[in-house]
Each structure stands twice: as C-alpha cells, then as structure tokens.
Amino acid sequence: MDVAWQDRLAIRDLIENWVVWRDAGDWERFRTVWFDDGRMMATWTQGTADEFIAMSQAGWAKGVSILHFLGGQAIDLAGPRAISQTKMTIAQRAVVHDVQVDVVCTGRFYDFLEKRDGRWGFVLRQPIYEKDRMDPVDPAAKLSLDPASLAQFPEGYRHLAYLQSQIGYQIKRDMPGLKGAAVERLYASGAAWLRGEKLDR
C-alpha cells in the first residue's frame, strides 16, 4: 500500500474516532486525536481542544445530549497536510418551551489536519452547517417557536441555535453555511493550508 493510501486510511480512522469517542464520553482517548495547538469551532463554543473537551464534559454532566453521524468523505492531501470534508449530521435532544424535541442539522466537518512525527491529528475543526429542522419527540405535542428569535440565527443552523440558546449557550452567528462569504473564506483558508501557509486563526 502506498503512502497516500495509508494517510487516507489514517485520516478516516481519525475522523471516525473523533465521533465515537466524543459521543461516548471517552475523554482520555478523545484528547489523543488533537494536537496541543488544535482548535474546535462550534455553534456553542469556540476555543482550544482542551477547552472544547472541558465544555463537552460539563455539558455531559448536565445531561446535554449531542450525537454525531458520519457520511461520505473527501480528502485533499498535500504532503504532511490535509483538508478533510466529511458529510455529517448533528442530532441534539433537549426541552424547548416545555416540549422535548430533537434537532437534526446536516452539514460537513471541514478539518485542517497535519502529520507530525508520523501521526495525523486535528489542527482545526470547522463545521459547515447546511440545513436543519426541529421535531417534537412526541408527535402529538404542540410546539410554538418565537419567529423573531428563530429568524436571528443563520438559516443553516437556525433550529439548532434556537435550541442551544434556550438551554443557556451563547451562539456564534457567523458560522459557514452551504453558500456565502463565510464558507468561501473557509475554502480559501483550506487552499492556503494545503499550499503550506500559516493557518489564520
């Protein structure tokens, strides 16, 4: 097997381990997918890998329920650097206006990866949020959202942000979606990363 295929398999393994270990609360192994300078961007928290893990542990202890599911993947390799895009779904359950709901958000994980000392790891994970919806867990329940509050969030993660704001999180409101300036800037950063340029944080 040539080096490129070995790298692609190692990257896929890394992406899958992120999801399984994070959602299982296996924090010790979850930390191993990150480099020390790794960063995570999400609607509800942005910061270092260690800050993200601490926030995830705190949410886990409070009963915050967020799960991730993976689909197809495209990997661009450039020596010891890579950009990986993986189709994903974020599923979160919580109580909104006294009704238990599920939010499903579909998008992509856009990952800046590097191979250091023979090991691939995360330098930056930036989700792209494409579309979402909110449904009562009990189909007979009646749910009414505040239209003004819903409209203040970007279309790609509007319902996810609504739910997360209801349970106390401050939401970042300029995350990349399927189209627009934010995702174009992300693609430009990815291309620069593959050219060997410094990552603009």
Q: Please, what are the averages of pLDDT over each run of 10 residues along the chain (201 residues)? A: 90 98 97 97 95 94 94 97 98 97 98 97 98 97 95 96 95 96 97 93 64
Q: What's the confidence (pLDDT) of residue 201?
A: 64
Tokens of 91: 């599923």
pTM of the model: 0.95
CB 69 within 8 A of CB 108: no
DSSP 171: P
Count of alpha carbons within 13 angstroms of residue 10, beta-carbon side = 21
Residue ranges covered by each domain of the chain: 3-186
Q: What's the confidence (pLDDT) of residue 112?
A: 98
- Host H or E run for residue 19: helix 3-24
CATH code, residues 3-186 = 3.10.450.50
Closest among 102, 100, 70 to 86, alpha carbons compared:
70
Q: What's the confidence (pLDDT) of residue 200?
A: 76
Q: What's the confidence (pLDDT) of residue 1?
A: 64
- Host H or E run for residue 157: none
Count of beta carbons in the 10 Å neighbourhood of residue 16: 14
**Gyration radius (Cα) of the chain, Å:** 17
